[in-house]
Amino acid sequence: MQAIRSILVVIEPEHSESLALKRAKLIAGVTDAHLHLLVCDKKHEHSAMLSVLKQGLLADGYSVTTEQAWNDSLHETIIEVQQAEGCGLVIKQHFSDSPLKKALLTPADWKLLRYCPTPVLLVKTATPWTEGVILAAVDVGNLDGEHKSLHAAIIDHGFDIASLAKAQLHVISAHPSPMLSAADPVFQLKETIEARYREQCKAFQAEFDIDDARLHIEEGPADVLIPHLAHTLHAAVTIIGTVARTGISGALIGNTAEVVLDAVESDVLVLKPQALMDHLQELASTP
Protein backbone atom coordinates (compact mmCIF):
# COMPACT_ATOMS: atom_id res chain seq x y z
CA MET A 1 0.00 0.00 0.00
CA GLN A 2 2.80 2.40 0.90
CA ALA A 3 4.46 1.72 -2.47
CA ILE A 4 1.42 2.85 -4.49
CA ARG A 5 2.34 6.02 -6.34
CA SER A 6 -0.88 6.58 -8.29
CA ILE A 7 -4.54 5.75 -7.55
CA LEU A 8 -7.34 5.54 -10.10
CA VAL A 9 -10.59 6.80 -8.56
CA VAL A 10 -13.80 5.98 -10.44
CA ILE A 11 -16.26 8.86 -10.01
CA GLU A 12 -20.01 8.25 -10.38
CA PRO A 13 -21.55 11.56 -11.58
CA GLU A 14 -25.01 10.74 -10.24
CA HIS A 15 -23.65 10.27 -6.70
CA SER A 16 -22.41 13.66 -5.53
CA GLU A 17 -20.95 12.31 -2.26
CA SER A 18 -18.17 10.10 -3.62
CA LEU A 19 -17.23 7.44 -1.07
CA ALA A 20 -14.49 6.21 -3.43
CA LEU A 21 -12.90 9.67 -3.40
CA LYS A 22 -13.11 9.82 0.41
CA ARG A 23 -11.13 6.57 0.69
CA ALA A 24 -8.65 7.73 -1.95
CA LYS A 25 -8.01 10.96 -0.07
CA LEU A 26 -7.38 9.03 3.15
CA ILE A 27 -4.81 6.77 1.46
CA ALA A 28 -3.17 9.56 -0.59
CA GLY A 29 -2.98 11.76 2.50
CA VAL A 30 -0.61 9.24 4.05
CA THR A 31 1.19 7.84 0.98
CA ASP A 32 1.35 11.06 -1.14
CA ALA A 33 -0.03 9.04 -4.06
CA HIS A 34 -1.29 10.89 -7.14
CA LEU A 35 -5.06 10.76 -7.73
CA HIS A 36 -6.43 10.23 -11.24
CA LEU A 37 -10.21 10.80 -11.29
CA LEU A 38 -12.13 8.95 -13.99
CA VAL A 39 -15.74 9.31 -15.15
CA CYS A 40 -16.89 6.44 -17.39
CA ASP A 41 -19.59 7.87 -19.66
CA LYS A 42 -19.99 8.14 -23.44
CA LYS A 43 -23.27 10.07 -23.47
CA HIS A 44 -22.93 13.10 -21.19
CA GLU A 45 -20.23 15.69 -20.59
CA HIS A 46 -18.82 15.91 -17.04
CA SER A 47 -15.85 18.25 -17.48
CA ALA A 48 -17.36 20.96 -15.24
CA MET A 49 -17.86 18.55 -12.33
CA LEU A 50 -14.37 17.10 -12.74
CA SER A 51 -12.91 20.60 -12.82
CA VAL A 52 -14.61 21.51 -9.54
CA LEU A 53 -13.37 18.29 -7.90
CA LYS A 54 -9.85 18.87 -9.21
CA GLN A 55 -9.65 22.47 -7.96
CA GLY A 56 -10.88 21.43 -4.52
CA LEU A 57 -8.32 18.62 -4.27
CA LEU A 58 -5.47 20.83 -5.51
CA ALA A 59 -6.41 23.42 -2.89
CA ASP A 60 -6.20 20.68 -0.24
CA GLY A 61 -2.67 19.80 -1.38
CA TYR A 62 -3.36 16.65 -3.42
CA SER A 63 -1.74 15.82 -6.74
CA VAL A 64 -4.62 15.19 -9.14
CA THR A 65 -5.57 14.75 -12.81
CA THR A 66 -8.99 14.03 -14.34
CA GLU A 67 -10.41 12.20 -17.34
CA GLN A 68 -13.68 11.15 -18.94
CA ALA A 69 -13.57 8.02 -21.12
CA TRP A 70 -15.56 5.10 -22.50
CA ASN A 71 -14.42 1.89 -24.19
CA ASP A 72 -17.13 -0.73 -24.88
CA SER A 73 -17.82 -1.55 -21.22
CA LEU A 74 -17.27 -0.17 -17.73
CA HIS A 75 -14.59 -2.63 -16.62
CA GLU A 76 -12.69 -2.36 -19.92
CA THR A 77 -12.71 1.43 -19.69
CA ILE A 78 -11.36 1.36 -16.13
CA ILE A 79 -8.61 -1.13 -16.99
CA GLU A 80 -7.60 0.77 -20.14
CA VAL A 81 -7.18 4.00 -18.15
CA GLN A 82 -5.41 2.15 -15.30
CA GLN A 83 -2.91 0.85 -17.85
CA ALA A 84 -2.42 4.21 -19.53
CA GLU A 85 -1.89 6.04 -16.23
CA GLY A 86 0.15 3.30 -14.51
CA CYS A 87 -2.11 3.32 -11.44
CA GLY A 88 -1.26 0.78 -8.74
CA LEU A 89 -4.71 0.75 -7.12
CA VAL A 90 -8.26 1.14 -8.43
CA ILE A 91 -10.95 2.50 -6.07
CA LYS A 92 -14.60 2.31 -7.03
CA GLN A 93 -17.87 2.53 -5.16
CA HIS A 94 -19.87 -0.72 -5.33
CA PHE A 95 -23.60 -0.62 -5.96
CA SER A 96 -25.31 -4.00 -5.54
CA ASP A 97 -27.22 -5.43 -8.48
CA SER A 98 -30.60 -7.11 -8.10
CA PRO A 99 -30.57 -10.96 -7.97
CA LEU A 100 -32.40 -11.03 -11.33
CA LYS A 101 -29.84 -8.81 -13.00
CA LYS A 102 -27.02 -10.95 -11.58
CA ALA A 103 -28.64 -14.10 -12.98
CA LEU A 104 -28.74 -12.58 -16.45
CA LEU A 105 -25.48 -10.67 -16.47
CA THR A 106 -22.12 -10.80 -14.72
CA PRO A 107 -21.97 -7.55 -12.72
CA ALA A 108 -19.38 -5.04 -13.91
CA ASP A 109 -17.62 -5.05 -10.55
CA TRP A 110 -17.12 -8.83 -10.72
CA LYS A 111 -15.51 -8.40 -14.13
CA LEU A 112 -13.31 -5.64 -12.74
CA LEU A 113 -12.16 -7.96 -9.93
CA ARG A 114 -11.38 -10.74 -12.42
CA TYR A 115 -9.53 -8.80 -15.07
CA CYS A 116 -7.90 -5.79 -13.39
CA PRO A 117 -4.14 -6.38 -13.06
CA THR A 118 -3.92 -4.31 -9.85
CA PRO A 119 -5.57 -4.46 -6.42
CA VAL A 120 -9.17 -3.19 -6.44
CA LEU A 121 -10.85 -1.46 -3.49
CA LEU A 122 -14.64 -1.56 -3.74
CA VAL A 123 -16.23 0.92 -1.35
CA LYS A 124 -19.57 -0.22 0.03
CA THR A 125 -20.23 1.88 3.13
CA ALA A 126 -19.58 5.30 4.65
CA THR A 127 -18.23 3.63 7.82
CA PRO A 128 -15.04 5.49 8.90
CA TRP A 129 -11.84 3.45 8.74
CA THR A 130 -10.22 5.43 11.52
CA GLU A 131 -9.88 3.42 14.75
CA GLY A 132 -12.04 0.68 13.23
CA VAL A 133 -11.36 -2.98 12.47
CA ILE A 134 -9.56 -4.24 9.37
CA LEU A 135 -10.25 -7.92 8.61
CA ALA A 136 -7.73 -9.86 6.50
CA ALA A 137 -8.89 -13.25 5.20
CA VAL A 138 -6.26 -15.88 4.37
CA ASP A 139 -6.39 -19.57 3.47
CA VAL A 140 -3.48 -21.01 5.43
CA GLY A 141 -4.51 -24.54 4.44
CA ASN A 142 -3.04 -23.85 0.99
CA LEU A 143 0.73 -23.85 1.29
CA ASP A 144 1.77 -23.65 -2.37
CA GLY A 145 4.00 -20.75 -3.36
CA GLU A 146 1.22 -18.80 -5.06
CA HIS A 147 -1.03 -18.87 -1.99
CA LYS A 148 1.82 -18.14 0.42
CA SER A 149 2.83 -14.99 -1.47
CA LEU A 150 -0.85 -13.99 -1.68
CA HIS A 151 -1.26 -14.46 2.10
CA ALA A 152 1.78 -12.24 2.67
CA ALA A 153 0.31 -9.53 0.42
CA ILE A 154 -3.09 -9.72 2.17
CA ILE A 155 -1.57 -9.40 5.65
CA ASP A 156 0.84 -6.70 4.44
CA HIS A 157 -1.97 -4.59 2.97
CA GLY A 158 -4.06 -5.18 6.09
CA PHE A 159 -1.22 -3.97 8.30
CA ASP A 160 -0.66 -0.90 6.07
CA ILE A 161 -4.34 0.09 6.17
CA ALA A 162 -4.54 -0.52 9.93
CA SER A 163 -1.47 1.70 10.37
CA LEU A 164 -2.71 4.58 8.20
CA ALA A 165 -6.21 4.46 9.77
CA LYS A 166 -5.01 3.80 13.34
CA ALA A 167 -7.24 0.73 13.19
CA GLN A 168 -6.97 -2.82 14.57
CA LEU A 169 -6.01 -5.70 12.29
CA HIS A 170 -7.81 -9.05 12.69
CA VAL A 171 -7.09 -12.17 10.61
CA ILE A 172 -9.46 -15.03 9.72
CA SER A 173 -8.75 -18.41 8.14
CA ALA A 174 -11.48 -20.98 7.52
CA HIS A 175 -10.66 -24.67 7.91
CA PRO A 176 -12.47 -27.81 6.70
CA SER A 177 -14.66 -29.98 8.90
CA PRO A 178 -13.03 -33.08 10.43
CA MET A 179 -13.22 -36.27 8.36
CA LEU A 180 -12.73 -39.65 10.04
CA SER A 181 -11.73 -41.06 6.67
CA ALA A 182 -8.92 -38.51 6.18
CA ALA A 183 -5.54 -40.13 5.48
CA ASP A 184 -3.79 -37.57 7.69
CA PRO A 185 -4.91 -38.05 11.34
CA VAL A 186 -4.58 -34.27 11.85
CA PHE A 187 -7.72 -33.80 9.73
CA GLN A 188 -9.78 -36.30 11.76
CA LEU A 189 -10.27 -33.98 14.75
CA LYS A 190 -11.35 -30.34 14.87
CA GLU A 191 -8.84 -29.56 17.63
CA THR A 192 -5.86 -30.89 15.66
CA ILE A 193 -6.94 -29.11 12.47
CA GLU A 194 -7.23 -25.81 14.30
CA ALA A 195 -3.88 -26.38 16.05
CA ARG A 196 -2.15 -26.93 12.69
CA TYR A 197 -3.74 -23.81 11.17
CA ARG A 198 -2.71 -21.73 14.19
CA GLU A 199 0.84 -23.10 13.90
CA GLN A 200 0.96 -21.99 10.26
CA CYS A 201 -0.09 -18.48 11.31
CA LYS A 202 2.67 -17.99 13.88
CA ALA A 203 5.18 -16.43 11.49
CA PHE A 204 2.94 -13.59 10.34
CA GLN A 205 1.51 -13.20 13.86
CA ALA A 206 5.03 -12.47 15.09
CA GLU A 207 5.89 -10.23 12.12
CA PHE A 208 2.77 -8.08 12.36
CA ASP A 209 2.17 -8.35 16.13
CA ILE A 210 -1.22 -10.09 15.82
CA ASP A 211 -2.10 -11.70 19.13
CA ASP A 212 -4.23 -14.87 19.45
CA ALA A 213 -7.35 -12.84 20.28
CA ARG A 214 -7.18 -11.21 16.83
CA LEU A 215 -6.55 -14.48 14.97
CA HIS A 216 -9.80 -16.28 14.13
CA ILE A 217 -9.48 -19.92 12.99
CA GLU A 218 -13.01 -21.11 12.22
CA GLU A 219 -14.57 -24.29 10.83
CA GLY A 220 -16.74 -23.92 7.74
CA PRO A 221 -16.91 -22.37 4.26
CA ALA A 222 -14.96 -19.13 3.84
CA ASP A 223 -17.75 -17.39 1.95
CA VAL A 224 -20.01 -17.80 5.02
CA LEU A 225 -17.47 -17.28 7.80
CA ILE A 226 -15.83 -14.14 6.41
CA PRO A 227 -19.06 -12.09 6.14
CA HIS A 228 -20.21 -13.38 9.55
CA LEU A 229 -16.99 -12.30 11.30
CA ALA A 230 -16.88 -9.01 9.38
CA HIS A 231 -20.40 -8.30 10.68
CA THR A 232 -19.56 -9.41 14.25
CA LEU A 233 -16.44 -7.22 14.39
CA HIS A 234 -18.12 -4.31 12.52
CA ALA A 235 -15.16 -4.40 10.13
CA ALA A 236 -14.56 -1.25 8.09
CA VAL A 237 -12.51 -3.09 5.46
CA THR A 238 -12.34 -6.77 4.52
CA ILE A 239 -9.27 -7.85 2.55
CA ILE A 240 -9.53 -11.01 0.46
CA GLY A 241 -7.53 -12.71 -2.27
CA THR A 242 -8.67 -14.38 -5.44
CA VAL A 243 -6.76 -16.84 -7.59
CA ALA A 244 -9.52 -17.08 -10.22
CA ARG A 245 -8.09 -17.31 -13.70
CA THR A 246 -9.45 -15.74 -16.81
CA GLY A 247 -11.18 -18.00 -19.31
CA ILE A 248 -13.36 -20.89 -18.16
CA SER A 249 -12.37 -20.93 -14.49
CA GLY A 250 -12.52 -17.12 -14.34
CA ALA A 251 -16.08 -17.27 -15.62
CA LEU A 252 -17.33 -19.49 -12.81
CA ILE A 253 -19.76 -17.40 -10.81
CA GLY A 254 -19.42 -18.31 -7.16
CA ASN A 255 -15.77 -17.42 -6.69
CA THR A 256 -15.32 -16.76 -2.94
CA ALA A 257 -14.23 -13.16 -3.58
CA GLU A 258 -17.39 -12.43 -5.56
CA VAL A 259 -19.71 -14.06 -3.01
CA VAL A 260 -17.98 -12.24 -0.14
CA LEU A 261 -18.21 -8.95 -2.02
CA ASP A 262 -22.00 -9.11 -2.03
CA ALA A 263 -22.33 -10.54 1.51
CA VAL A 264 -20.08 -8.29 3.62
CA GLU A 265 -21.21 -4.97 5.06
CA SER A 266 -17.79 -3.35 4.67
CA ASP A 267 -15.45 -2.02 2.03
CA VAL A 268 -13.63 -4.84 0.22
CA LEU A 269 -10.02 -4.84 -1.00
CA VAL A 270 -9.32 -7.69 -3.45
CA LEU A 271 -5.77 -8.84 -4.19
CA LYS A 272 -4.40 -11.42 -6.65
CA PRO A 273 -1.19 -13.46 -6.75
CA GLN A 274 1.67 -11.72 -8.56
CA ALA A 275 1.75 -14.35 -11.32
CA LEU A 276 -1.93 -13.74 -12.08
CA MET A 277 -1.48 -9.96 -12.05
CA ASP A 278 1.45 -10.36 -14.46
CA HIS A 279 -0.74 -12.50 -16.76
CA LEU A 280 -3.58 -9.96 -16.64
CA GLN A 281 -1.08 -7.18 -17.29
CA GLU A 282 0.00 -8.98 -20.46
CA LEU A 283 -3.61 -9.40 -21.56
CA ALA A 284 -4.44 -5.77 -20.82
CA SER A 285 -1.43 -4.44 -22.72
CA THR A 286 -1.98 -6.58 -25.80
CA PRO A 287 -3.65 -4.54 -28.58
Instruction: State pLDDT tens for residues 53-91.
Output: 999 999 999 999 999 999 989 999 999 999 999 999 999
Share of the chain above pLDDT 70, in %: 79
| The pLDDT value given to residue 253 | 39
Greatest alpha-carbon pair distance for the chain in Å reads: 66
pLDDT bracket for residue 160 (50, 70, 90): very high
Q: Phi/psi of residue 103, each to 5°?
A: -65, -30
| The pLDDT value given to residue 250 | 43
| The pLDDT value given to residue 176 | 67
Kindly report, as residue ranges, where domains of CATH 3.40.50.12370 are found in the chain.
133-284
pLDDT bracket for residue 286 (50, 70, 90): low
| The pLDDT value given to residue 252 | 40
| pTM exceeds 0.85, yes or no | yes
Does 279 score more than 50 pLDDT?
A: yes
Q: Phi/psi of residue 61, each to 5°?
A: 95, 10
The domain 133-284 is placed in CATH, from the list 3.30.1310.10, 3.40.50.12370, 1.20.1560.10, 3.30.450.20, at: 3.40.50.12370
Gap between the Cα atoms of 29 and 1, Å rounded? 12
Average pLDDT of span 98-123: 79
DSSP code at position 121: E
Gap between the Cα atoms of 80 and 284, Å rounded? 7
Average pLDDT of span 194-219: 87
Does 254 score more than 80 pLDDT?
A: no
Over its C-alpha atoms, the chain yields an Rg (Å, rounded) of 19
| Cα dihedral across residues 182, 183, 189, 195: positive or negative | negative
The domain 6-93 is placed in CATH, from the list 3.40.50.1980, 3.90.550.10, 3.40.50.620, 3.65.10.10, at: 3.40.50.620
Does 267 score more than 70 pLDDT?
A: yes
Cβ neighbours for 236, distance < 8 A, ≥ 6 positions apart: 125, 127, 128, 129, 132, 133, 134, 165, 167, 266, 267
Kindly report, as residue ranges, where domains of CATH 3.40.50.620 are found in the chain.
6-93
Average pLDDT of span 152-172: 92
Does 183 score more than 50 pLDDT?
A: yes
pLDDT bracket for residue 101 (50, 70, 90): low
Complete edge-to-edge strand list for the sheet that includes strand 267-271: 64-69, 34-40, 6-10, 89-93, 120-123, 267-271, 237-241, 133-137, 168-175, 215-219
E-strand ranges in 101-167 read 120-123, 133-137
Buried b (16+ CB within 10 A) or exposed e, 254-287: ebbbbbbbbbbebbbbbbbbeebbeebeeebeee
Per the prediction, the chain carries an average pLDDT of 84
Q: State which amino acid sits at residue 184.
A: D
Quick: pLDDT tens for 8-63: 999 998 876 789 999 999 999 989 999 999 999 988 999 999 999 999 999 999 99
pLDDT bracket for residue 208 (50, 70, 90): confident
Gap between the Cα atoms of 238 and 247, Å rounded? 26
Gap between the Cα atoms of 52 and 60, Å rounded? 13
